[in-house]
Chains A and B, each alone.
Chain A
Amino acid sequence: AQSVTQLGSHVSVSEGALVLLRCNYSSSVPPYLFWYVQYPNQGLQLLLKYTTGATLVKGINGFEAEFKKSETSFHLTKPSAHMSDAAEYFCAVSHRNQAGTALIFGKGTTLSVSS
């Protein structure tokens, strides 16, 4: 069975500082991994995904994540935080059931950015 653990329910950074959001996964099969962002009262927007190939994945808004199989991790980073990055971030792993491939989400990390 697949699962996702996001370390730190809340991360606070200053504008311009490095953003690091941690995600560890558990999967019995090669995982597909995703990071989504959610703004208040909105749906989820895909930031980036890893399926196969290059382990360093670049996404939108300057975010990137690196798949490390040995560490079962898929941490999300951004070199310089912007005020508009304040949101809820979810890491997810694909989960194949009888009907299709759904997503198993972590509990989310709230990112706060201060000026």
Chain B
Amino acid sequence: GAVVSQHPSRVICKSGTSVKIECRSLDFQATTMFWYRQFPKQSLMLMATSNEGSKATYEQGVEKDKFLINHASLTLSTLTVTSAHPEDSSFYICSASRTGGETQYFGPGTRLLVL
């Protein structure tokens, strides 16, 4: 199979702090990883696409200085929400695809609550 994990699954933080979310492909090498955001009862919105060893490509309207993405290896990508505010509270989901593959495998998601 193709398993993607995320850590933590749930995080609560104070406004102004930074939070790091990890996304790992456990049994395959992921050249490309994607970060999505999902608000309650809504669809997933693509935030950024990251390729191992290069800068992430952000979607229009996503602040790259606020949502820092690092894809340091073929099995790990991290999303850091800097200076988090209550409006950043959301469900963040990552996905990964194999080299040349069209199918994305999704992590279980991370629920962020900023107080």
Contacts and interface: CB of A to CB of B under 8 A. Distances in A.
A75 B49 CA distance: 28
A23 B75 CA distance: 33
A44 interface: yes
B57 A97 contact: yes
A41 B111 contact: yes
A45 B103 CA distance: 11
A61 to B, nearest CB: 16
A42 interface: yes
B44 interface: yes
B106 A108 contact: no
Interface residues of B, number: 29
Contacts of B43: 90, 105-108
B76 interface: no
Interface string B1-37: 0001010000000000000000000000001101000
Interface residues of A, number: 26
A92 to B, nearest CB: 8
A51 B51 CA distance: 23
A41 B110 CA distance: 9
Contact of B106 (A36, A49, A99, A102): A36
B102 A32 contact: yes
A106 B38 CA distance: 12
Contact of A99 (B50, B103, B105): B50
B44 to A, nearest CB: 5
Interface of A: 32, 34, 36, 41-46, 49, 51, 90, 94-95, 97-108
21 contacts: A36-B106, A41-B109, A42-B108, A43-B93, A44-B44, A44-B95, A46-B106, A97-B49, A99-B49, A99-B50, A99-B51, A99-B57, A100-B34, A101-B97, A103-B34, A103-B44, A105-B44, A106-B43, A107-B43, A108-B42, A108-B43
